[in-house]
Amino acid sequence: MRAISLYDNIKLPMDMNLLDLITKKYMQISYNEVKGLVLGGNKSMSDLLYSKINDEDKMQLSIDENEKNEFFGKIAIDYENFHPTANYPVTADQGWYHFKSWQIFGTEKIKSSDQLHRFYCGVTNDKMYEFTNVLYEKFKNQGIPFYFKTMRLNSGRVDNVVIYTSTKLLEKTIDVIDSIQIERPDLINTFREPSILVGKYSDKIGYAEEVPGISMSYTDCICTLFTRTLGQCLHEYAKNNPDSSIKLAYKNKVSAQFSKYGEPETEYSKEMAKQRILYSLLENDMGFKEFLLRNVRNNLSLAGIDPDNICFSNEVKKEVENLYGIQEQAKTY
C-alpha cells in the first residue's frame, strides 16, 4: 500500500455502529473497578475504558523466553559493534521495552514530535519475539530508521507490539510491513484483530495517527474524549429533558446504593448511580444515543480529528498529502 492510499483504504467513522462498540466496552467496567477509582485509585474512567478496549485475551500463551533472550543478545552484539564503550541501548518503562535504531546503530533519529504514525500489531505473547526479530532484521538490512516497542510481560493486549514512524519514513515503513505480510503469512495470521478504536491497515494490523498538540496517545485521546463527552451529555440531557425520569432515577439509585451497601451518598454511590442510568439510557433511549453521537463527533472535530475517519488527524493527513501527493504526481511525468 502506498502512503497516499491510506486515506482511501482505511475507514473508521464515528457512527452509531462504533459508538455501540465503545459503549458496550464502557459498560463492562465493573462496580468494583469504579469503587477503587473513586476511593483513591490513580486511574480515571478513561483509563478503565482503555483497558477494556485493549485487554482482550487473558488466556494467551506466555512469552518465549529463549527467543526473547536471543533477540536481546543480537541487539547487544549489533550495538557493541557501533558503540563499544556505551551503555546498553534498550530502554524500558513500567510496561514496555523500547527499541530505537538511533540508539542501537546511530541512525537518523525520529524525533518524538515526528512520531505521528502508529501501526498496532496484535502478535500473541508466544510469537512476540519471533515477530520482532523479523521486523528488526528488515529495518536493519534496509538501513531504515525505526522505533518499535513491545510489552515487557505477558499480556492480553491487542497491541503487544507498536511501530512508530514519521511522515518522511512512512512509505519505507509500509514497505517493511508489507514485505513481512507477504513473506510470513504463517506468522501474521496468528495475530489477533486490532482494537475497535484503530483503523485496519490489514486484517491483523491496525493503524492510527497521533493528534498533534495533545500530550497523550491516540487511544488515550479517544477514550478521554468519549468519557468526558458521556458525562457532559448525561448532565445536559437531564437538564434539557425535565419531564424525563432521569433525575428521579438518579436520586432513587443513590438511595438504593445506600440500602444495598450501607454507604452514604459518596462519590462512589453517585458514580454507581450514574453508571446504572447510563446503561439504561444507552440500552433504551435512542434519543440519548443520537445526542451522544452528535456531541462525540463535534468534540472529535474540535480536537482536530476527522469524525468520518477517526484514526486520522486532519493536520497529519495534510502533511502526508503534501509530501506523497507531490511524489505521486512526479511519477506521472
User: pLDDT tens digits, the chain, 333 residues: what are they?
Assistant: 788 889 889 999 999 999 999 988 988 887 778 777 766 666 788 888 998 898 766 666 799 999 999 999 999 888 887 765 556 678 888 889 999 999 898 899 999 999 999 999 999 999 999 999 999 999 999 999 999 999 998 888 889 999 999 999 999 999 999 999 999 999 999 999 999 999 999 999 999 998 877 788 899 999 999 999 988 888 788 777 765 555 555 555 545 544 454 444 556 666 666 777 777 777 777 888 899 999 999 999 998 899 999 999 889 989 998 998 855 544 443
Same domain, 69 and 43: no
Element of type H or E holding 119: strand 117-121
Name the residue range of residue 119's domain.
65-191
In this predicted structure, what is the pLDDT of residue 28? 86
Regarding whether 83 and 22 lie in a shared domain, the answer is: no
Please name the residue that has the C-alpha cell 451518598: 265
Give the separation between CA 75 and CA 245, rounded to whole angstroms.
62
User: Do 96 and 178 lie in a common domain?
Assistant: yes
- Tell whether 79 and 160 lie within a shared domain: yes
Whether 70 and 49 map to the same domain: the answer is no
Residue located via cell numbers 424525563: 244
Whether residues 74 and 186 fall in one domain:
yes
- The single-letter DSSP state of residue 112 is G
Residues 242 and 222 in one domain: yes
In a domain, 28, yes or no: yes
C-alpha cell at 80: 557493541
pTM for the model: 0.86
Answer yes or no: is 332 within a domain: no
Nearest one of 146, 127, 119 to 188, comparing CA atoms: 127
Sequence-ordered list of residues with C-beta below 8 angstroms from that of 147, at least 6 positions apart, any chain: 98, 99, 100, 101, 110, 115, 163, 164, 165
Residue 40 lies in a domain: yes
Q: State the angle between helix axes of 128-142 and 65-82 in degrees (0 to 180), rounded to the nearest 10.
A: 20
pLDDT at 254: 47
Note whether 98 and 161 are within 8 A (CB).
Answer: no
Number of residues in the chain: 333
Tell me if 326 is assigned to some domain: no
**Domain end point (choices 174, 191, 208):** 191
DSSP H helical ranges for 157-313: 170-183, 185-188, 218-240, 246-261, 267-284, 286-302
Shared domain check, 71 and 51: no
Cα(125)–Cα(128) distance, integer angstroms: 5
CA gap 274, 249 in Å, rounded: 10
Q: How many domains does the chain have?
A: 2
136 and 172 assigned to the same domain: yes
Q: Give the Cα separation of 288 and 28 in Å (integer).
A: 19
Q: Are residues 137 and 84 part of one domain?
A: yes
Residue 171 included in any domain = yes
